[in-house]
Structure 1
Amino acid sequence: MNALLTVSGLTVSFGSFTALDGVDLAVEERELRFLIGPNGAGKTTLIDVVTGRTRPTSGTVRFDGADTTGLAEHRTVRSGIGRTFQTAAVFDALTVADNVDLAASFRLAPHRLLRRRDRADVPEALERVGMADLAERKAGGLSHGQRQWLEIAMLLAQRPRLLLLDEPVAGMSAAERERTGELLEEIAQDTTVLVVEHDMEFLRRHARTVTVLHEGRVLTEGTLEEVRADERVAEVYLGRSAAEDGPEAGPTSGPAAEKETADA
């Protein structure tokens, strides 16, 4: 497989604080990659740089072979990168189908911005996330999990090649988390997916490859088993007590997690 996204020597500094410090990352086609680390590790900052929300101090971002470093957000979307946030960005007053239709229109040229309900992209996207029967419901009446799935459908309608998802299962019920995991595995069959996540049980069930960030640097990466066996991960991400309790222990606050920054 070939790397669809390549980040090289990425550094982001805000005054005296360095959010990313020489990060290298390669994500291959049709890969389901999880990005983890304690608060302040640089996870959200990395996504912000890839999507054009933040300009790096140094380093490069290449997507599908092209240098996209510092590319404006709207141009990043049109290049084939979609991104969700921790709070779903949907329009409550619009129907589910209208939300997807509006998102799908974003990549079209102005002369094609007519109502396109006769096109297949809206019903296809809703069918894919299991919301076809909710097409005419107002988005404001959806559950938390359904709002997250709607936002994913909005991205899928834009036909991206890379999806960046920021804590997609936060606040979901157990059943919603399971359905979301299945959905991400389905999407990764033809679309590259990079997931920022804190839910360790979700990670254990669905992660294929994991990259661990710590204090703006890549600490380690590999399969879930390889990452869990790394003593440095237990030290900085799970905390000393979890390392002593064994690999099944859940996350603790840990020394690194106490560092508060704008990065989630």
Structure 2
Amino acid sequence: MEPLLRLSEIKVVFGSFTAVDGVDLSVAERELRFLIGPNGAGKTTLIDVITGRTRPSGGRVLFGGVDITGRREHAIVRAGIGRTFQTATVFERLSVADNVDLAASYRMGPLRLLRRRRGISDAVAAVLERVGLLRLADRGAGVLSHGQRQWLEIGMLLAQQPRLLLLDEPVAGMSAAERERTGELLTEISADHTVVVVEHDMEFLRRYARDVTVLHEGRVLTEGTVARVQADPRVQEVYLGRDVRVAEPVAAGAVEVE
């Protein structure tokens, strides 16, 4: 079966610096894939290539079998790809519900946008219920906690009905309870969406990741299950070389990386 997302020999060069160096990556429909690696490994640059923020120096991006390499960002959104950033981008002066409603409106025609809306639509309510913010629908987005803002941004993506969600460090700065709720949410979303998560929180990865791709110096170092990746000596060497602590094995063949 053709993967939903296929990257072929992606290369990104900034002057004399090669940020991404011939990356091949395939992600299947309804897969929950984690993308990890030390700082500077090329993770965010790769996401930028997929979403049209950065034009690759070489290689192709195929989405649903269609070549989308170099398309503009708005065209890629309309193709069915959405992303979040490390810092949640929400409209603080609007209510939680209005943020989701506005995100969904890009599919509407100009006449529908001009109509005054009354109350919360069923579609918006369903999204808010899914991300756990329905009770805060009328609250201003500016007063939300850090974790709630991240959930709102995920809800704004879901309102656009994407096939693929790209999430850049969604649990950074969250409390333990917020991380747990986010992990449950991503697991639930991946039942009917494809989700790629860029993440540094290894405890979070161990609990919720299914498949992992490790980048190092712009290349794919290894990929596979969490246990396989943690047991790979090359992964241990990369993280140890960056002063990342490695504890005692948590299972046979597995090394805990923090």
Taking structure 2 as the reference length, what is the TM-score of the superposition?
0.93
Structure 1 distance, partners of 2:145, 2:31, is 29
Q: Percent identity?
A: 71
Query: Which residue of 1 is the match for residue 91 of structure 2?
Result: 91
C-alpha contact 1:231 1:243 (8 A) present in aligned 2: no
Partner of 1:175: 177
Q: Is the 8 A contact 1:234 1:242 kept in 2?
A: no
Tell me what 2:257 maps to. Answer: 250
> For structure 2, which runs of at least 5 residues remain unmatched after alignment?
none
1: distance between equivalents of 2:256 and 2:245?
Answer: 5
Identify the residue that residue 189 of structure 2 maps to in structure 1: 187
What secondary structure does 1:106 align onto? helix
Q: Does 1:150 align with 2:152?
A: yes
Corresponding residue pairs, total: 251
Paired position in structure 1 for 2:224: 222
* Amino acid aligned to 2:193: T
Match of 2:25? 25
Give the structure 2 partner of residue 76 of structure 1. 76
SS at the partner of 2:4? strand
Contact 1:20 1:217 in 2 (8 A): yes
Partner in structure 2 of residue 48 of structure 1: 48
> Equivalent residue for 1:255?
none
Rounded to whole Å, the distance in 2 between the matches of 1:219 and 1:115 is: 52
- In the TM superposition, 1:120-159 aligns within 5 A as 120-159=122-161
- Aligned-partner Cα distance in 2 for 1:133–1:208: 31
C-alpha spacing 1:242/1:11, structure 2 compared with 1 (3 Å): same
Structure 2 Cα separation of the partners of residues 235 and 115 of structure 1: 58
Identify if the C-alpha distance between structure 1 residues 244 and 145 changes in structure 2 by more than 3 Å, giving closer, same or farther. Answer: closer
Deviation at 1:110, TM superposition (A): 2.9
Deviates more, 1:123-132 or 1:107-116: 107-116
Distance 1:241 1:141 in 2: 35
Give per-residue Cα distances to partners, 1:172-215, cap 9 Å, x unaligned: 00000000000000000000000000001000000000000000
Consecutive unaligned residues of structure 1, counting only runs of 5 or more, are 252-264
Residue 242 (structure 1) shift: 4.6
Q: Per-residue CA shift, 1:31-84, capped at 9, x if unaligned?
A: 000000000000000000000000000000011111000110011111100100
CA contact (8 A) 1:104 1:121 kept: no
**How large is the Cα RMSD of the aligned pairs?**
1.6
Q: Structure 1 147/118 Cα, relative in aligned 2: closer, same or farther at 3 Å?
A: closer
Provide the residue aligned with 2:112 in structure 1. Answer: 112
CA deviation profile, 1:83-119 (whole Å, cap 9, x unmatched): 0000000011000000001111123333432455564
Name the SS for the 1:98 alignment partner: helix
Aligned 8 A contact 2:10 2:24 in 1: yes
Opposite residue 180 of structure 1, the aligned amino acid is T
Query: Partner of 1:210: helix, strand, or coil?
Result: strand
